[in-house]
C-alpha cells in the first residue's frame, strides 16, 4: 500500500516539476535600505546623477536618491555613527577639485544591485 502512495507521489512531482520551473520569473534586482560602510571598496558618481558603490565582494549597488547637485568629479561626504549608509541619511555633495566647495545636501534612497555604473557618455563635437 505504501508503494502505491510513493508511486503516486513521484508521479505528481514529475508532473508538477515542469510547471513549477515555468513559474520562475526572472530575478528582480536586489534592493536594500542600508550598505555597511566597511564593505564599500569604491564609490563614485555616475553620469546619470546616481551614486554607485562597489563592495568588497565585487557587487555594484546604485543609490536611488534624487540629487541634482551630484555629478562627475564630485563626492558625497557621509557621517554615520552606526557604520552604515542608509535610506534617509543626509549626505553632502562636495567638489574637492574646486577647493572643497559644498553644493548642499541630499537624502540617500534605497540601494539597488546593478551591473555597474553607466558608461560615461562621449562628448559631442
Report the chain's terminal Cα–Cα distance, integer Å: 81
Residue with cell 516539476: 17
Q: Based on the structure, what is the number of domains in the chain?
A: 1
Which ranges constitute the DSSP H helices of the chain? 2-22
Q: What is the mean pLDDT of each run of 10 residues along the chain (125 residues)?
A: 46 46 56 94 89 95 91 88 92 93 94 88 48
Question: What is the span of the domain harbouring residue 51?
Answer: 31-114
Question: Quick check: is 110 in a domain?
Answer: yes
Question: Quick check: is 105 in a domain?
Answer: yes
105, 107, 111, 112: CA torsion to nearest 10? -90
What's residue 42's pLDDT? 94
Question: Quick check: is 1 in a domain?
Answer: no
Question: Quick check: is 63 in a domain?
Answer: yes
What's residue 2's pLDDT? 41
Nearest to 117 by CA among 64, 66, 62: 62
Q: What is the pTM of this model?
A: 0.68
Question: Quick check: is 106 in a domain?
Answer: yes
Nearest to 44 by CA among 29, 34, 36, 54: 54
- How many Å apart are CA 110 and CA 99, to the nearest integer? 30
What's residue 27's pLDDT? 54
What's residue 39's pLDDT? 95
Using DSSP, state whether 17 is helix, strand or coil: helix
- How many Å apart are CA 7 and CA 21, to the nearest integer? 22
- How many Å apart are CA 74 and CA 22, to the nearest integer? 46
Question: Quick check: is 37 in a domain?
Answer: yes
Amino acid at each position: 500500500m505504501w508503494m502505491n502512495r510513493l508511486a503516486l507521489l513521484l508521479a505528481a512531482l514529475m508532473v508538477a516539476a515542469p510547471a513549477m520551473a515555468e513559474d520562475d520569473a526572472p530575478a528582480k534586482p536586489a534592493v536594500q535600505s542600508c550598505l555597511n560602510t566597511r564593505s564599500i571598496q569604491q564609490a563614485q558618481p555616475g553620469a546619470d546623477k546616481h551614486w554607485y558603490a562597489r563592495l568588497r565582494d565585487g557587487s555594484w549597488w546604485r543609490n536611488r536618491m534624487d540629487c541634482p547637485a551630484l555629478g562627475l568629479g564630485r563626492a558625497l561626504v557621509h557621517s554615520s555613527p552606526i557604520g552604515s549608509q542608509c535610506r534617509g541619511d543626509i549626505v553632502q555633495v562636495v567638489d574637492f577639485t574646486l577647493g572643497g566647495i559644498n553644493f548642499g545636501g541630499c537624502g540617500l534612497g534605497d540601494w539597488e544591485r546593478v551591473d555597474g555604473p553607466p558608461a560615461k557618455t562621449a562628448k559631442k563635437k
